[in-house]
Structure 1
Amino acid sequence: MYKFLEATVADHMTRSVRSVSREMTMRELEDLFERDDFNAYPVVEDGRAIGLVTKYDFLNCFAFHPTQMLPHYDDLMNRTIGDIMTPDFIYVHADTKLTRVLQLMVEHQTRSIPVLDGARKLAGIISREDVIKAVASFTKAKP
């Protein structure tokens, strides 16, 4: 288990990441959520991560708020990701310790966290499954 304390994101993240653009519509996003069964997508513009869009962001558009009238379904589905994304999102770097990732995931109840380089370019993503596999690999009994 002590090796887990030193493990970093770089050795456990998923490097091939699906991202979306701010111009994509909610209708297109819904199709992606259904097809990929992901909980979130980084929003990328000119190679840099500018936000994160989650299933929660998507569903929040349909939530009733006493201070606003709900638009027609087709109007909602034609909104863009830029309208609903979260521009201030949690991210980590490849050299971040997995213990910190685990802490962030638990504190913020998130399923995945984008991994960015120093220029905010998307380098990968670290998911709960990645962390679970890492924990398992460090805690299995060795013969």
Structure 2
Amino acid sequence: MRSMKVHDYMNRHPVKFTREMPVETAVAMLIAASQSGGPVVDDDKQVIGFLSEQDCLAMMLEGTYHKEQSATVADCMSNEVVTVNSDMAILDLAQELGNKRPKVYPVVDYAKQLVGVISRTDVLRAIDLHLRDSYANH
């Protein structure tokens, strides 16, 4: 049977941001990576925020996006971040996803350092693979 832990299905090389990064740079990175959002980390790789496409859209619509003084990630990121541990069971995470939670979770190790991200699509893929294995073995 396949492992059903977050670390087996997470993206180990996610787009991540710093507080000081210009929003324009962050938007370009999100678009290039086809990621709907990403964690904001400090110098110790600790997750201190989350920047979503929604946050970027709000900033762009506000009109500060192209003014001379650029907005930074810190100006529009969410400080409320739900992280998951890399050893968490995929099925436990899937149950949490049903409660209108974020679409992307930063994944941290026991030192609370960023080790990746996991999305709803990643969770769906993991459960699909598990179910396929179950049917193939019957």
Preserved contact between residue 106 and residue 117 of structure 2 (Cα < 8 Å): yes
Higher-RCO chain (CA-CA 8 Å, sequence separation at least 6): 1
Cα deviation code 1:2-56 (max 9, x no counterpart): x68x822122222222211111111112211221221011111112111110011
2:113 pairs, out of 106, 112, 121, with 121
Q: Give the fraction of aligned pairs with identical amino acids, expressed as a percent.
A: 25
What's the Cα RMSD here?
Answer: 2.3
Match of 2:34 in 1: 37
Gaps of 5+ in 1: 64-69
TM-score, normalised to structure 1, is 0.80
Counterpart contact for 2:15–2:29, Cα < 8 Å: no
Q: Do the aligned partners of residues 30 and 77 (structure 1) sit closer, same or farther apart at CA in structure 2, a change above 3 Å counting?
A: farther
1:18 corresponds to which residue? 15
1:102 maps to a residue whose letter is A
Distance 2:98 2:10 in 1: 17
Per the alignment, do residues 120 and 75 of structure 1 end up closer, same or farther by CA in structure 2, a change over 3 Å counting?
A: farther
In structure 2, the partner of 1:51 is 49
- Residue 85 of structure 1: how far off its partner (Å): 0.7
| Aligned residue pairs, count | 134
Choose the corresponding residue for 2:90, options 85, 98, 101. Answer: 98
SS at 2:86 equivalent: coil
Distance of aligned partners of 1:59 and 1:72 in 2 relative to their CA distance in 1, 3 Å threshold:
closer
Runs (4+) of structure 1 exceeding 6 A deviation are none
